[in-house]
Amino acid sequence: MTNPLAARGVVHWVGAGRSSGAGIVTLTEHAAVTLWARRPERAQGLADRLKLDGRVGVRPLGELAETVRPGDVVVSMLPATEHAGLLRLCLDRGAHFANTSYLSDDIAAAAGQLAAAGLVAVVEAGLDPGIDHLMAHRLVADGRRAMGDDAVADFTSYCGGLPAVPNEFRYRFSWAPRGVLRALLSEARFIDGGEVRTVARPWQAITPVTIGGERFEGYPNRDSTTAIRQYALPGGWRLDRFIRGTLRLDGWSAAWAQVFRELTEADDARVDALADELAARYPATAQDQDRVVLHTGLSLRTPDGRSWTGSYHLDVEGDASGSAMARCVSLTLAAAVREILDGQVTPGLHQAASEPDRVARWWRYLAEAGLTIHHTSAQE
């Protein structure tokens, strides 16, 4: 196995959008950090908000390519379509790479090059995907210890960015309104009743979800079945249900009924126009605090009648220091970068953390940063 190229303690954080936050503060304790943005004044505003005067550099994105050196870590908080370009820069310059987005085909194709060069790339290191992966790997390990590898399994993982104070629309647009609507136009694939199901529109599979006595609504997101292998579920577990999805406040589907009707018939231009209209009508203002709820649960039943349930749960509200979403996303990303800086990740491509020791480290980093993950389990 190729030894990792030693990180030299320099982090280039590229992008100063709404998901950049407290994680940058923690990284300044371990590395020299520079914030890069197309509009440096935006990056400076982020640094000011985080009270990082004198602790980070701020530079225009156009100067990044000439600055990256072997052993640096490049963090991409740009739109997903721009990750591949930054990864190519890392390969050219011998730098490590991290982001929060789902693994793309372009980045997957570079796995061999990364490993051969001794470089590390960690993707899906955010909230969802990210913290949900940590919860899932822990639950699978918990379930195997409790019940073994011969069982019927029911796995669900739901995550939502919600308004802390509900409004009549049961939602506020904090960013990317087009992305919110376009996600509702993508088919979803999951397992229910032991069978693989596909729905053309996620809202066709909304289900009630109760977490800590509070009622929500959940719907499947993307292709849930790809995570079965990623989470290393035992081959002897027969899946009755396996869903990774999005969480919304109770009453969301009723409040959005007219939106669903419009989306069913809308062309691209109308979707964009509708996104603008809704974002203007239901914006998240500086006075609106957000809330993040993430819940991952696993139930197992064995042929001899034994049963076990376990869950991990995160519930965070934004405050004057920043949004809940920015805290959760950026702190998890910082955990990934800290591992790279410390030389604790093997060369190649990684989707968040999966190995028990790495999951434990990320868990500890998040706890130290103030993100409390609650755990429940019961066995009969």
Q: How does pLDDT run across 75-115, given as a tens digit for each residue?
A: 999 988 999 999 999 999 999 999 999 999 999 999 999 99
From CA 253, how far away is CA 263, in angstroms rounded? 14
d(CA 101, CA 336): 13
CATH superfamily of 10-127+328-364: NAD(P)-binding Rossmann-like Domain (3.40.50.720)
| Mean pLDDT of all residues in 325-333 | 96
Instruction: Flag whether the pTM goes above 0.85.
Output: yes
Residue 4, pLDDT > 80, answer no
What pLDDT, in 10s, does the model give residues 133-148?
999 999 999 999 999 9
Q: Among positive and negative, which fits the CA dihedral 203, 209, 211, 214?
A: positive
pLDDT computed for residue 186 by the predictor: 94
Reference 227, options 155, 161, 314; nearest CA is 155
pLDDT score for 17: 87
What whole-number distance in Å separates Cα of residue 181 and Cα of residue 256? Answer: 11
pLDDT for 53 equals 87
The pLDDT score that the predictor gives to residue 236 is: 96
Q: Cα dist. 64→94, 176, 195, 299, 308 in Å?
A: 14, 25, 48, 48, 51
Judge whether residue 117 has pLDDT over 90.
Answer: yes
Residue 23 confidence class, pLDDT cut points 50, 70, 90: very high
Identity of residue 166:
P
- Given the residues 72, 128, 154, 290, the one annotated as active site: 128
Question: Alpha-carbon distance 207 to 191, whole Å?
Answer: 14
Domain spans in the chain, listed from the N-terminal domain onward? 10-127+328-364, 131-322+372-379
Mean pLDDT of 51-59: 93
Query: Residue 1 above 80 pLDDT?
Result: no
Look at residue 85 in the predicted model and tell me its pLDDT.
94
d(CA 112, CA 314): 35
Residue 40, amino acid: P
Q: How far is CA 31 from CA 14, 55, 307, 342, in A?
A: 15, 10, 47, 10
CATH architecture for residues 131-322+372-379: 2-Layer Sandwich (3.30)
Q: Is 347 within 8 Å of 120 (Cβ atoms)?
A: yes
Cα angle 366-370-374, degrees, rounded to a multiple of 5: 75
User: Is 157:45 a contact under the CB 8 Å cutoff?
Assistant: no
Q: Do the domains at 10-127+328-364 and 131-322+372-379 have one common CATH topology?
A: no
pLDDT mean across residues, the chain: 95
Strands (E) in 17-174, as ranges, are 32-37, 56-60, 73-76, 96-99, 120-123, 151-163
Note if the bond before 129 is cis, omega within 30 degrees: yes
121 to 88, 113, 301: CA distances (angstroms): 11, 11, 37
| Residue 2 binned pLDDT confidence (cut-offs 50, 70, 90) | low
Query: Would you call 128 a catalytic residue per the annotation?
Result: yes
Percentage with pLDDT > 90 across the chain? 92
